[in-house]
Amino acid sequence: MNALLDGELDAVNSLRCEAHVARCPACAAELDRLRALRERLAREGIAWRTPPALRARILAALAEEAASTAPGVRAAPPARTREPNRWAARLRDAVGRWRAVPAGLALAASLALAVLITRLDERPDLPGQLVSGHVRSLLANHLTDVLTSDQHTVKPWFSGKTDFSPPVVDLDDRGFTLVGGRLDYIENRVVAALIYKRRQHVINLFMWPSEGSRPTAFAREGYNILGWQQAGLAFWAVSDLNVVELKEFQDDFAERAPH
């Protein structure tokens, strides 16, 4: 939904989304809400410009960094060896483009990228891994290792294959049909994946032991991702299903799974 509003989808997926919104009242209402929010945030008195003096200091600091890395200038040896950070390289490449951007936006972009660099240094790109696992299961014809809608068959199949007992919930009466389960690999560990279907939409529900995760929502490459923590497990639902129905799936599963 956010990608459609921001114009980030290609022509084919834009047409698909617009056609869906035209016949789905829930998604149409959500899209209207997002548009209204964008309009409110763009009003005078909410957006503000960075003072010219701060813009000048930022550009001077960027120019100093560029000069220190120019040919012929010998930089001090690093305190420790580490692999090049591709996001830091993108930050440097963007410097030239920021000169034509208002200072407030340039500052916001630099701060956002700095935070992103820090987070990516700390852990792999989890949303990217989740989407890759979801897409890989569809492209490689490896959606399930155990193909059955019987929860009493799927649950014991995981026994001995994972170091935890994945909860398997029957949601057929809620409109989410259990298709089966499989093993996947996320964040350098083997995880369990349950597969559900809503009409023609596939939902991959990844899970593994984790404590302290907070409810999280992402949109990545046209897929919606919802995450939550329950009973010592982290759950991540990934699908091209609209976010309203995916949230219904999350609520239904969380209600019936052990707490």
pLDDT per position as a tens digit, 42-51: 776 665 667 7
CA–CA dist 197, 203 (Å, integer): 6
- What does the pLDDT read at residue 69? 61
CA–CA dist 197, 176 (Å, integer): 6
84-119 pLDDT, tens digit per residue, is 455 455 555 554 454 444 545 555 555 555 444 444
Give SS3 for 242.
coil
CA–CA dist 194, 121 (Å, integer): 30
Domains in the chain: boundaries = 2-41, 52-69+84-122, 126-256
* Residues in CB range of 131: below 8 A, 6 or more apart: 220, 221, 223, 225, 238
- What does the pLDDT read at residue 84? 47
What are 204's strand-pairing partners?
195, 238
When comparing pLDDT for 143 and 111, which is higher? 143
CATH of 126-256 among 1.10.10.10, 1.10.3480.10, 3.40.190.10, 3.30.200.100: 3.30.200.100
Query: What is the model's pTM?
Result: 0.53
User: Which DSSP category does 216 fall into?
Assistant: E
N-term to C-term CA, the chain? 31
Query: Do residues 256 and 205 touch, judged by C-beta distance below 8 A?
Result: no
64-90 pLDDT, tens digit per residue, is 777 766 555 454 444 444 444 554 555
